[in-house]
């Protein structure tokens, strides 16, 4: 019985780490164009911002001039969306929990970047930026069109154009 209690406590404490639904985590929702659940959207949007800010701060130290200019824009814009999302959750308008860390795959991407310098760094950062912005545009589009929280849907819809602009900028860096 004691073992059961410990396992139960561990699962409760780990809950936020596993909060993302299987359909969202595996990309099934994205493939069929289904809106994520509110908590999944908040988790993904927040961890995406964390990765954007952390990787872009690294790019401010290591990137070439064009990369640094892009990275500064990413830090500024993604800090703004982080603050806006935190505000929606703190106000009670959005019932969701905010993550405290990136996903393991995002952390792995950051670790890879951290081991690179020069042209190798720029190439990896540019590719990562294009990939994460493609995912973000898709996520925000799906939630804006079919999410179940009106305030969050409106925020996703108003934020998406900036993410689409970021994606175009990232594609430009990749040429």
CB 147 within 8 A of CB 52: no
What is the token pair recorded at 26? 């595996």
pLDDT at 156: 98
Domain residue ranges in the chain: 21-173
Give percent of the chain with pLDDT exceeding 90. Answer: 79
The CA distance from 45 to 144, in Å, is 13
DSSP-derived letter for residue 46 is: H
Give domain 21-173's CATH architecture.
Up-down Bundle (1.20)
What is the token pair recorded at 83? 């603050």
Predicted TM-score (pTM) of this structure: 0.83
pLDDT digits (tens, 9 = 90+) for 43-61: 999 999 999 999 999 999 9
pLDDT at 54: 98
Give residues with Cβ within 8 angstroms of 71, minimum separation 6: 56, 57, 59, 60, 63, 125
pLDDT digits (tens, 9 = 90+) for 97-127: 999 999 999 999 999 999 999 999 999 999 9
pLDDT at 22: 62
pLDDT at 166: 97
**Cα dist. 15→42, 97, 132, 155 in Å?**
15, 11, 25, 26
Mean pLDDT for all residues in the chain: 87
CB 61 within 8 A of CB 119: no
pLDDT digits (tens, 9 = 90+) for 68-89: 999 999 999 999 999 999 999 9
């Amino acid at each position: 019985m004691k073992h059961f209690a410990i396992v139960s406590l561990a699962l409760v404490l780990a809950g936020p780490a596993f909060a993302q639904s299987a359909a969202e985590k595996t990309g099934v929702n994205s493939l069929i164009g289904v809106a994520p659940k509110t908590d999944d959207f908040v988790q993904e949007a927040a961890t995406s911002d964390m990765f954007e800010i952390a990787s872009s701060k690294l790019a401010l130290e290591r990137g070439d001039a064009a990369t640094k200019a892009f990275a500064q824009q990413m830090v500024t814009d993604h800090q703004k969306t982080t603050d806006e999302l935190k505000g929606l959750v703190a106000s009670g308008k959005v019932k969701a929990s905010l993550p405290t860390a990136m996903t393991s795959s995002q952390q792995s991407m950051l670790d890879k970047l951290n081991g690179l310098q020069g042209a190798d760094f720029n190439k990896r950062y540019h590719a990562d930026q294009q990939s994460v912005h493609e995912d973000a545009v898709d996520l925000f589009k799906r939630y804006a069109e079919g999410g179940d929280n009106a305030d969050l849907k409106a925020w996703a819809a108003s934020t998406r154009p900036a993410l689409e602009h970021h994606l175009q900028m990232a594609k430009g860096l990749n040429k």
